[in-house]
Chain A
Amino acid sequence: MTPSRSSRSIDWPLVLLYLLLVGLGWVAVYAASYSPEAPANPLASLGFSQLMAFNWFKQLLWMGTAAVLIVVLLVVDYKAYDTLAYILYFAMLGLLLVTLVIARPIAGSRSWLEFGPVRLQPAEFAKFTTALAASRFMASINLRQQNWRDQAVLAGLTLVPVALILASNETGQALVFAALLLAYFREGMSPLILLLLAAGGVILLLALLVPKLWLVGGFTVVLAVAFLLNAKLWRHHLILSLSTWAAVIGMVFGVNFFFNHVLQPHQRQRIEMLIDPGKDPLGKGWNVTQSKIALGSGGWLGKGFLNGTQTKFDFVPEQSTDFIFCTVGEEWGWAGSTLVIGLYMALLWRILLVAERQKSVFGRTYGYCVASVLFVHFTVNLGMTMGLMPVVGIPLPFFSYGGSSLWSFTILLFALLALDAHRKQDLLR
């Protein structure tokens, strides 16, 4: 294998999209952490330790290290991803466990490992290892054959890291693992599971918004109408439909219990604020309100680079990390935000394309895992920024400031590119 052959087989459109998103992300981080009082040419006039006070400078360092990471990922024998999948997976479980034990709580979460000034969040990388392991396992089974043992193993494989991450109080990171269901769906998982999950989410939300009796009554009426329309079919599934009905009723009434007794106060607040951020705009609703003000004041074309007032003057909290899209919306307007959304769509579409052309189930499943994880991050992050979803602290891939997330998304993506570059050899194997 010569470098030229290898470089020719790399999917350059995907690399280009990656570079565009990381580049634009850095510009946004620069704007968000820009301070008018800073010297005009900080790189020349400030020392290294002073520069380390700026997020944009640190992000530059993260980007440099990510470049090194990319080279490593592409040079490593592509077969290693397959072979080492389980080893990496179990190593990561160990690391998560260790982190849980030794980590100092930061903002209520025990998920950060600290090495001097550098902090890493193993949970960010658990997505990668879990995706590899799940893909490897997927390659060895046939999901459509409804083998209960296989399905249980797959579920366990997915849920063990989720449990560990939940234990460290990183609800958002744990939530992302639901993305893997999309990949499993592509490989033959029953769509019913996706539908049930979606329906469950909708019912949960409705239970919080709509009076309970209305909801139960409405659902009963819908079920009764369906039953009357096709009584013969329904009689065959009488037990199923009755238990569904009971489940929904239980869920509706369970929501209150869940909301008041299971959820922790900060999680409860996030949901309350989603329902009505105006209730307490200077308190709990601050994040959502200020985020929407920053976005909404952008207009068609935005206020221009570095001219954002809401983000620059710290009205939006965590503006370089979780709320980085506020800067995009405020300074680049609707045109800029839509362009960024378009870039993400192009990226996801290209990953699906790459995934579909893999000759191995491992490669394809992994590709879908990558797309789904990026998609869930994108959806939850932007949904939160726009006030459509609860405030869940997860980064926007490639955009948000932070080494852990940039590295983890780079690894996710470039492992796929490495696999893709060698897909023809895989066929020859």
Chain B
Amino acid sequence: MQYLEGRRYVVLAIFLLVGVLFAGRLFYLQVLDDSYKVAADRNTLQRQVQIPYRGQIYDRHDSLLVTNTPVFDLVVVPREVKRLDSLRFCQLTQMPIEDLRLGLRAAKIYSRNRPSPLIQNLSTRELATIDDMLGDFPGFRIQARMARTYKTENLAHALGYVGSITPKLLESSKFAHYQPGDNVGISGLESYYESTLMGQRGVQYRLVNVRGVDKGPFHGGQYDTLSVAGQDLHLSIDASLQAYGEKLLAGRRGSIVALDPKTGEILCFVSAPHYEPQVLTGQGSGNRYMDLLRNPDRPLFDRPLMATYPPGSVFKLVNELVALQLGVVTPGTGFPCNQSLIHCTHRHEYPSNVNIAIKQSCNPYFYQVMRAAVLRGQSRNGFEDARLGLGQWQKMVKSFGLGEKLGVDMSQEKRGLIPSPDYYDKRLGYHRWNYKTVYSLSIGQGEIGITGLQMANVLATIANHGYYYAPHFVRGIGAVGQPLAQFRERHYTAIDTSLFKYVIPGMQAVVDGRGGTGEFASLAQYGISVAGKTGTVQNAHGPDHSTFAAFAPANNPKIAVAVFIENSGFGGTAAAPCAGLIMEHYLRGHVAPSRKRWENWIMYGDLTRRGHH
């Protein structure tokens, strides 16, 4: 029997071996391998995001433009659906039975325990009929959510719109904390001020059991955060001026931008043709968006920011200021209207000083002004002289905020183009161009491109005698009531502030002088002097574009405005009266009945018919 005694140790060894094996296996599972902890959290932790109330948008007179109203969706929780009478349900909801079948299937795939939308944006009538009957359909209920609602029919281009976040945006780090299905500002101010408007999401971590049923807060809610409502935006836009501007250009393509020169606030921002902001929200918005996208007049195109045109004669003002700064001309300098240099717009008196030259918009005069500014004998080589001169000219022009983004509080702004010597070197070759190649810049034609917003800003700069505030839409954010810091900073041009006074009388003569090119913009009957400049932009693809830029009153400027109307000929006939009406509306609060004929003219007249100068 002795050797059987030893077997007790064999048995004991087997026992202990298994014990040690299990302890080791547990050590691996519990201590070494972290993946199970992650899996456990994924099992039980549900992150519930509370969407804060999105900030509202007001105009400069505190009238509400954009707000949120509850909309109602019919949602379904698949697990709670019992004995569904689909036929009756479809009769009640007017829903095709096939849609119900597909909707239920999609809901089941998404989650058996969480609500999925079946019909979105129920109308009040639908809501009333459905709500009464829902007691008979377990698992179906009405869920409210907040949707963007517009109290204005205007300003769609600036306001932008809100929509579900796209998969592409979700990938960017800026939207790291967004979830699929979240709303986000897609364009315009809604997008630029997204973080301000959105506020802070609240997050609650809830424990859920295996069936997804809520089992209370995680760790007593110590990781939860409350949602904070978004901040309101107070725009500098004057809603009634905006509506008026959109009405004027309703049948045209073009833009109107009006600024308050003293602050850089945008008063009016018209992109024609326009559309109503609510078009891009709610049911069917996708189809309506596609319709706008296919429209040949491109209503979605944000013209004041994105369309760059050669500024035409308005740019002569900038060239004159550059030449004055360089000291190559004086206000009293006269140049002959020498049509062999460049053709002039019309026959006129001898431009013996800058006032007459501006009033008559004499092309040969400004040809010679810019030639004096560019060719200053800085090099014996004529090509190099033009190169050096144009380089200095470009730097000074750019100091007006041209050829660069002004930094308006909206994305999508185009920089425009002020050509540099490098630009011509690249296109034509080094020392292969001289002033004779680029002279059309002197009258604002050629390679140059600026936006409507930049044009208005140039006028504001002149009105301010040499500085501007970056144009902006938002003059007050939430309770702070201030615009962003970058909009409170003055930008000075490279032109001495004392020189601006030399171009203003000429601009006043354009509007108020006898036979001035911008006479249709005159507000002299109200005792308001307007300083402005017409422009006609040659267009290779059709009739010329009409442009006019002005500020008023000339002695104490309160508004600077730039109007572009595409394919409507001379600036004086189309754009000038339009700018006049805008300034009148803003400065006087209304347009006198006697001036209504101008409205009809701009809205319905054949703008290309009237005389070309």
Say if A and B assemble together.
Answer: yes
On A, residues with C-beta under 8 Å from B are: 36, 144, 182, 185-188, 290, 292-300, 309-310, 312-315, 329, 333-334, 337-338, 341-342, 344-345, 348-349, 352, 356, 368, 371-372, 375, 378-379, 382-383, 386, 388
CB of B169 within 8 Å of the partner chain: no
CB of A314 within 8 A of CB of B211, answer yes
CB of B48 within 8 Å of the partner chain: no
Query: Which one of B10, B15, B29, B43 contacts A310 once the chains associate, using CB atoms below 8 Å?
Result: B43
A-B contact count (CB 8 A): 117
CB of B30 within 8 A of CB of A337, answer yes
Given contacts A296-B30, A313-B209, A314-B211, contact A182 B11 (CB under 8 A): yes
**A122: shortest Cβ distance to chain B, in Å?**
28
Question: Which residues of chain B come closer than 8 Å to A290, judged between CB atoms?
Answer: 43
CB of B37 within 8 A of CB of A349, answer no
CB of B25 within 8 A of CB of A299, answer no
CB of B216 within 8 Å of the partner chain: yes
CB of A293 within 8 A of CB of B11, answer no
Question: In the assembly, what is the distance between CA of A398 and CA of B560, in Å?
Answer: 90
Question: Which residues of chain A come closer than 8 Å to B290, judged between CB atoms?
Answer: none
**B211: shortest Cβ distance to chain A, in Å?**
7
**A338: shortest Cβ distance to chain B, in Å?**
5
Question: Which residues of chain B come closer than 8 Å to A144, judged between CB atoms?
Answer: 4
**A311: shortest Cβ distance to chain B, in Å?**
10
CB of B30 within 8 A of CB of A299, answer yes
CB of B540 within 8 Å of the partner chain: no
CB of B132 within 8 Å of the partner chain: no
Query: Which one of B33, B43, B215 contacts A36 once the chains associate, using CB atoms below 8 Å?
Result: B215
Question: In the assembly, what is the distance between CA of A187 and CA of B11, in Å?
Answer: 12
Query: Which one of A298, A312, A378 contacts B30 once the chains associate, using CB atoms below 8 Å?
Result: A298
- The secondary structure that dominates the B interface is helix
Across the interface, name the chain B residue whose C-beta is closest to A35: B215
CB of B36 within 8 A of CB of A293, answer yes
**B112: shortest Cβ distance to chain A, in Å?**
12
**Chain B 548-581 against A: per-residue CB contact (8 Å), 1 yes, 0 no?**
0000000000000000000000000000000000
**A291: shortest Cβ distance to chain B, in Å?**
10
CB of A294 within 8 A of CB of B40, answer yes
CB of A334 within 8 A of CB of B26, answer yes
**B335: shortest Cβ distance to chain A, in Å?**
86
Question: Which residues of chain A come closer than 8 Å to B31, judged between CB atoms?
Answer: 299-300, 334
Instruction: For the A-B complex with A296-B35, A310-B40, A344-B19 known, give 14 more contacts whose Cβ atoms are closer than 8 Å.
Output: A186-B4, A290-B43, A295-B26, A296-B40, A297-B41, A310-B43, A310-B44, A314-B209, A314-B210, A333-B30, A334-B27, A337-B23, A375-B18, A386-B25
CB of B22 within 8 Å of the partner chain: yes
CB of A293 within 8 A of CB of B40, answer yes
Question: In the assembly, what is the distance between CA of A309 and CA of B26, in Å?
Answer: 19
CB of B15 within 8 A of CB of A345, answer yes
CB of B7 within 8 Å of the partner chain: yes
CB of A345 within 8 A of CB of B19, answer yes
CB of A297 within 8 A of CB of B18, answer no
The 7 closest A-B pairs by CB, nearest first: A296-B36, A297-B40, A313-B209, A334-B30, A309-B44, A296-B29, A314-B210
CB of B603 within 8 Å of the partner chain: no
Can you list 17 A-B pairs, Cβ within 8 angstroms, ordered by A? A182-B11, A293-B43, A296-B33, A300-B31, A309-B207, A310-B40, A314-B209, A314-B210, A337-B26, A338-B26, A341-B26, A349-B12, A352-B8, A352-B11, A371-B15, A378-B18, A379-B18
- The secondary structure that dominates the A interface is helix
CB of B14 within 8 Å of the partner chain: yes
On B, residues with C-beta under 8 Å from A are: 4, 7-8, 10-12, 14-16, 18-19, 22-23, 25-27, 29-31, 33, 35-37, 39-41, 43-44, 207-211, 215-216
**A65: shortest Cβ distance to chain B, in Å?**
29
**B392: shortest Cβ distance to chain A, in Å?**
71
Question: In the assembly, what is the distance between CA of A182 and CA of B216, in Å?
Answer: 50
Across the interface, name the chain B residue whose C-beta is closest to A345: B19
Question: Which residues of chain B come closer than 8 Å to A383, judged between CB atoms?
Answer: 22
Question: Which residues of chain B come closer than 8 Å to A382, judged between CB atoms?
Answer: 22
Across the interface, name the chain A residue whose C-beta is closest to B30: A334
Across the interface, name the chain B residue whose C-beta is closest to A143: B4
Question: Which residues of chain A come closer than 8 Å to B209, judged between CB atoms?
Answer: 312-315
**A363: shortest Cβ distance to chain B, in Å?**
14
CB of B36 within 8 A of CB of A292, answer yes
Query: Which one of B12, B37, B44, B207 contacts A296 once the chains associate, using CB atoms below 8 Å?
Result: B37
CB of B44 within 8 A of CB of A386, answer no
**A354: shortest Cβ distance to chain B, in Å?**
12
Question: Which residues of chain B come closer than 8 Å to A352, judged between CB atoms?
Answer: 8, 11-12, 15
Question: In the assembly, what is the distance between CA of A21 and CA of B503, in Å?
Answer: 101
Question: In the assembly, what is the distance between CA of A182 and CA of B18, in Å?
Answer: 14
Question: Which residues of chain B come closer than 8 Å to A388, judged between CB atoms?
Answer: 25
Question: In the assembly, what is the distance between CA of A186 and CA of B5, in Å?
Answer: 8
CB of A297 within 8 A of CB of B11, answer no
Query: Which one of B16, B40, B43, B208 contacts A345 once the chains associate, using CB atoms below 8 Å?
Result: B16
Question: Which residues of chain B come closer than 8 Å to A298, judged between CB atoms?
Answer: 30
Question: In the assembly, what is the distance between CA of A333 and CA of B35, in Å?
Answer: 15
Question: In the assembly, what is the distance between CA of A312 and CA of B27, in Å?
Answer: 22
Question: Which residues of chain B come closer than 8 Å to A186, judged between CB atoms?
Answer: 4, 7-8, 11
Question: Which residues of chain B come closer than 8 Å to A329, judged between CB atoms?
Answer: 26, 29-30
Question: Which residues of chain A come closer than 8 Å to B29, judged between CB atoms?
Answer: 292, 295-296, 329, 386
Question: Which residues of chain B come closer than 8 Å to A344, judged between CB atoms?
Answer: 19
CB of B8 within 8 A of CB of A315, answer no
Question: Which residues of chain A come closer than 8 Å to B41, judged between CB atoms?
Answer: 297
Across the interface, name the chain B residue whose C-beta is closest to A298: B30
Query: Which one of A295, A312, A314, A368 contacts B36 once the chains associate, using CB atoms below 8 Å?
Result: A295
**A230: shortest Cβ distance to chain B, in Å?**
25
Among B12, B16, B18, residue most surrounded by chain A Cβ atoms (within 10 Å):
B18
Question: In the assembly, what is the distance between CA of A299 and CA of B209, in Å?
Answer: 21
CB of A297 within 8 A of CB of B26, answer no
**B33: shortest Cβ distance to chain A, in Å?**
6
Question: In the assembly, what is the distance between CA of A386 and CA of B22, in Å?
Answer: 8
Question: In the assembly, what is the distance between CA of A264 and CA of B595, in Å?
Answer: 96
Across the interface, name the chain B residue whose C-beta is closest to A383: B22
Question: Which residues of chain B come closer than 8 Å to A378, judged between CB atoms?
Answer: 18
Given contacts A341-B19, A379-B18, contact A185 B11 (CB under 8 A): yes
Question: In the assembly, what is the distance between CA of A329 and CA of B27, in Å?
Answer: 11
Question: Which residues of chain B come closer than 8 Å to A342, judged between CB atoms?
Answer: 19
Given contacts A298-B30, A299-B31, contact A349 B43 (CB under 8 A): no
CB of B7 within 8 A of CB of A297, answer no
Question: Which residues of chain B come closer than 8 Å to A356, judged between CB atoms?
Answer: 8
Across the interface, name the chain B residue whose C-beta is closest to A308: B40
Question: In the assembly, what is the distance between CA of A206 and CA of B498, in Å?
Answer: 97
CB of B207 within 8 A of CB of A313, answer yes
Question: Which residues of chain B come closer than 8 Å to A310, judged between CB atoms?
Answer: 40, 43-44
**B8: shortest Cβ distance to chain A, in Å?**
6
Across the interface, name the chain A residue whose C-beta is closest to B37: A297
Question: Which residues of chain B come closer than 8 Å to A300, judged between CB atoms?
Answer: 30-31
Question: Which residues of chain A come closer than 8 Å to B7, judged between CB atoms?
Answer: 185-186
**A333: shortest Cβ distance to chain B, in Å?**
6
CB of A315 within 8 A of CB of B43, answer yes
Query: Which one of B37, B39, B210 contacts A313 once the chains associate, using CB atoms below 8 Å?
Result: B210
CB of A309 within 8 A of CB of B4, answer no
Question: Which residues of chain A come closer than 8 Å to B208, judged between CB atoms?
Answer: 313
Question: Which residues of chain B come closer than 8 Å to A299, judged between CB atoms?
Answer: 30-31, 37
Question: In the assembly, what is the distance between CA of A348 and CA of B11, in Å?
Answer: 10
Question: In the assembly, what is the distance between CA of A294 and CA of B37, in Å?
Answer: 8
**A320: shortest Cβ distance to chain B, in Å?**
15
Question: Which residues of chain B come closer than 8 Å to A334, judged between CB atoms?
Answer: 26-27, 30-31
Question: Which residues of chain B come closer than 8 Å to A36, judged between CB atoms?
Answer: 215-216
Across the interface, name the chain B residue whose C-beta is closest to A375: B15
Question: Which residues of chain A come closer than 8 Å to B22, judged between CB atoms?
Answer: 341, 382-383, 386
**A294: shortest Cβ distance to chain B, in Å?**
7
Question: In the assembly, what is the distance between CA of A349 and CA of B363, in Å?
Answer: 112
Query: Which one of A187, A297, A338, A379 contacts B39 once the chains associate, using CB atoms below 8 Å?
Result: A297
**A293: shortest Cβ distance to chain B, in Å?**
5
Across the interface, name the chain B residue whose C-beta is closest to A187: B4
